[in-house]
Amino acid sequence: MGPPVASRGHTATPTVGKAMLNKYARAFFTRVLTPFAAFLIRRGVSPDTVTLIGTAGVVAGALVFYPRGEFFWGTVVITLFVFSDLVDGNMARQLGRSSRWGAFLDSTLDRVADGAVFGGFALWYAGSGDDNVLCAVSIFCLASGQVVSYTKARGESIGLPVAVNGLVERAERLVISLVAAGLAGMHAFGVPGIQYLLPIALWVVAVGSLVTLIQRVVTVRRESAEAEAAEQQQALGSEADR
């Protein structure tokens, strides 16, 4: 959510599959959402407003429906508001207003939205879902998602490229969790056995997030050592030239 800037996104080269999916999916949704974005602009709505409304919608969908076990309708609401992530960026491009503030607001509210989704799962399993293990897994997904994002941001803030995508990033975490939750919610409509998809998805996200965290920590450790070695070599070269 929020206007994109050149520095936004991953600095590492993505895999071919992710690159193709991102390219064609974004191209499709850009064509679909551009008229709607233009309509909002004509009505005087700002990209930041769309970002805030989108996050509020996701948080409401997750914390109102999920703790009550209404996974299907909760996912429908969340999915509708998740598209604001593309709408506000489209608006920013049309207005030519890409900014550091927009990127900051976008990234910050993304963390809030992610926390609400997995927090909603945790509340369900802590309450009527009555499964302490899955409650703990949901909390781990929430926490690990925040830490995975922090490792990249912190690494970049100290001048490292953090050149690794990782096994399960934010997009994968959300797609796996929301698709599984939406399908699991169809159990309420009489579809048998499908409710087990959500626990499976949470375990997949938890393990994938742990692997991704390890990948990023190892990458930062390697890049840090390489940067320090290069600095020492440069210092020795400077002394030799004197």
49 is in an annotated binding site: yes
| Non-local CB neighbours of 227 within 8 Å, separated by 6+ positions | 159, 160
Q: Are 217 and 155 in contact (CB under 8 A)?
A: no
131 is in an annotated binding site: no
93 is in an annotated binding site: yes
99 is in an annotated binding site: yes
Candidates 117, 119, 43; CA nearest to 87 is 43
DSSP letter at 66 equals G
89 is in an annotated binding site: yes
Residue 199, token pair as written in the block: 């626990």
77 is in an annotated binding site: no
51 is in an annotated binding site: yes
**Tally of CA atoms within 13 A in the half-sphere of 114 that contains its CB:** 27
The values of phi and psi at residue 15, to 5°, are: -70, 160
16 is in an annotated binding site: no
Residue found by looking up tokens 């409304």 in the block? 53
100 is in an annotated binding site: no
Measure the CA–CA gap between 166 and 184, rounded to whole angstroms: 27
Which helix or strand (DSSP H or E) is residue 11 part of? Answer: none
Q: Are 124 and 66 in contact (CB under 8 A)?
A: yes
DSSP assignment string, 183-237: HHGGGGGT-TTGGGHHHHHHHHHHHHHHHHHHHHHHHHHHHHHHHHHHHHHHHHH
Catalytic-residue membership of 110: yes
Residue found by looking up tokens 């309420």 in the block? 188
Sequence ranges of the binding site for Mg(2+)? 85, 88, 106, 110
Sequence ranges of the binding site for a CDP-1,2-diacyl-sn-glycerol? 48-51, 89, 93, 99
Report the catalytic residues: 110
Sequence ranges of the binding site? 48-51, 85, 88-89, 93, 99, 106, 110
